[in-house]
Amino acid sequence: MITSDSLTQIQSYLQQRVEQMRKYGRPDRKYCCFEELILDRGVAMTAASKPPKLKRGLPKSCYYNCQQVAFGRKTLTYVEGYAISADIPMAIAHGWLANDKGEAIELTWEEPGIAYLGIPFSTKWVKAFLKQRNRPDSLSIFEGNYLEEFSLLKDGIPTEAIVSLQNEVVR
């Protein structure tokens, strides 16, 4: 279950990164960094149990693990943002899935995280976005956005790219 302390920890970390990056401001960008984008557009999620039919993915491959499953299951949504694991008490850039109730489904870590804050993406949009990259790997939408010359920082995320989840946790 998400606690206000753990969510606050993620938000504080992201805000610190924003303050650091603003020192190097780019007037041509809507957002100074992806942390600012996540603070603006992200939603907090509680962890749900992983459905028994879903297998845990490869360690350190959260983006790949979750993109592949989301592409094959209409009831799950790919999410990128920051999370705190049960093992490492700090905010980590991470990818996970969300179910139709807006709960986080962890496919990479052994245990569900204790807090999640991220942006739920439309599967159709993610597929099209990654296809334009013309690469065989499954990079993070955000971390790999240098390939699109940081288009998401310049313009923000298109409205059609974000999915509204049923039980979004108010931050």
Q: Is 23 exposed, middle or buried (0-12, 13-18, 19+ CB in 10 A)?
A: exposed
Q: Kindly report, residue by residue over 31-90, the tens digit of the pLDDT.
A: 999 999 999 999 999 999 999 999 999 999 999 999 999 999 999 999 999 999 999 999
- Residue 7 pLDDT exceeds 70: yes
| H/E stretch holding 67 | helix 62-72
Q: Residue ranges of the domains in the chain? A: 4-161
Give the type of residue at 154. Answer: K
Over residues 130-137, the mean pLDDT reads 90
